[in-house]
Amino acid sequence: MKKDVMIVTGAGQISMAIARRTGFGKKIVLGDKNMDNCNAIAKTMADAGFDVEPFQMDLSSRESILAMIDKALGYGEIKYMVNGAGVSPSQAPIEAILKVDLYGTAVLLEEVGKVIAEGGAGITISSQSGWRMPQLSPEEDRQLAMTPTEELLDLDILKRENIKDTLHAYQMAKRCNEKRVMYECTRWAERGARLNDIAPGIIVTPLAIDEFNGPRGDFYKNMFAKCPAGRPGTADEMATIAEFLLSDAASFVTGSTFLADGGATASYYYGSLQPEK
């Protein structure tokens, strides 16, 4: 019997947790730039009975995204997409954050949206970080949502002189992810498919551990200690949300961002995490 095909970008902890929860019995094409990560996660999953094909890809390159899609289509129509590849503010310079997290995600949603199977579903992973940034104007939001992908990085709001630091670049990228999901879900719907987004808070993964050890380490440790949940989250908790969003139970949910941050954003605006005035 032909298996449903699922493409997963980012051989990281969040992607793996989602793929393990939702990918059993499917053909999983797992892409990552770093083949050490990709082979390690593919092996862990294969040892647990999953059918995983590791594939080297770079989310910041359209050519590479198309090569991964092509690989997946060799196994049949793509029914599911999970985009968990990304770099954090402590891991990469401004240009790389914008190229991977913002442009690359936008291209992936666009290209998968051209081939996604009827009844299919996708999720991408943004971040609570996008929620702490002040509101953008309606026109700026619209630009992030709808500007053709190849023109995105030329927008004034994304010009180097208008991006303060790597955190600001990451926040803009994650805000763009949310807006892009709203725009692209209308195109995915033309193929009978849905697209949603999860905005995690602090989730213990190698990416978060780099943040704990980076220049904003104390800020993040204080954030999870004082947020309503009083702890960081786990990748498996993100998988619980992804399982719902990828299932038929969520057939009325598309274009949505699910904030799952232990209440950190709520506390940042109205609780004990409010910044000092």
Ligand X SMILES: NC(=O)c1ccc[n+]([C@@H]2O[C@H](COP(=O)([O-])OP(=O)(O)OC[C@H]3O[C@@H](n4cnc5c(N)ncnc54)[C@H](O)[C@@H]3O)[C@@H](O)[C@H]2O)c1
Closest to ligand X by CB, 56 or 115: 56
Selected catalytic residue, list 26, 79, 174, 179: 174
Q: How many chain residues touch ligand X (CB under 6 A)?
A: 30
Q: Tell me how far CA of residue 31 lies from CA of 165, 200, 236, 247, in angstroms.
A: 28, 21, 20, 22
33 flagged as catalytic: no
Residue 10 engages ligand X in binding (rule: CB under 6 A): yes
205 three-state secondary structure: coil
Q: Of all residues in this chain, which one has the CB nearest to ligand X in the complex?
A: 12
Residue 208 engages ligand X in binding (rule: CB under 6 A): yes
Taking the complex as a whole, the smallest distance from the CB of residue 85 to ligand X amounts, in Å, to 4
- Closest Cα partner for 14 from 114, 107, 103, 124? 124
Residue 257 engages ligand X in binding (rule: CB under 6 A): no
Give the footprint of ligand X on residues 24-43 (CB under 6 A).
32-34, 37
What is the DSSP secondary-structure string of 105-166? HHHHHHHHHHHPPTT-EEEEE--THHHHSPPPPHHHHHHHHHS-GGGGGGSGGGSGGG--SH
170 flagged as catalytic: yes
Give the one residue of 125, 223, 242, 246 binding ligand X; rule: CB under 6 A. 125
Taking the complex as a whole, the smallest distance from the CB of residue 277 to ligand X amounts, in Å, to 26
Give the one residue of 6, 68, 75, 88 binding ligand X; rule: CB under 6 A. 88
Amino acid residing at 56: Q
Give the one residue of 25, 93, 192, 206 binding ligand X; rule: CB under 6 A. 206
Q: Are 190 and 117 in contact (CB under 8 A)?
A: no
- Segment contacting ligand X (CB under 6 A): 58-66, 136-144, 147-155, 158-166? 58-66
Sign of the alpha-carbon dihedral angle for 92, 98, 102, 107 = negative
Maximum pairwise Cα distance, the chain: 61
Strand 121-125, strand 51-56: pairing: unpaired
Known catalytic residues are 170, 174
The residues of the shown chain that bind ligand X, judged by CB under 6 A, are 9-15, 32-34, 37, 57-60, 84-88, 100, 125, 127, 200, 202-203, 205-208
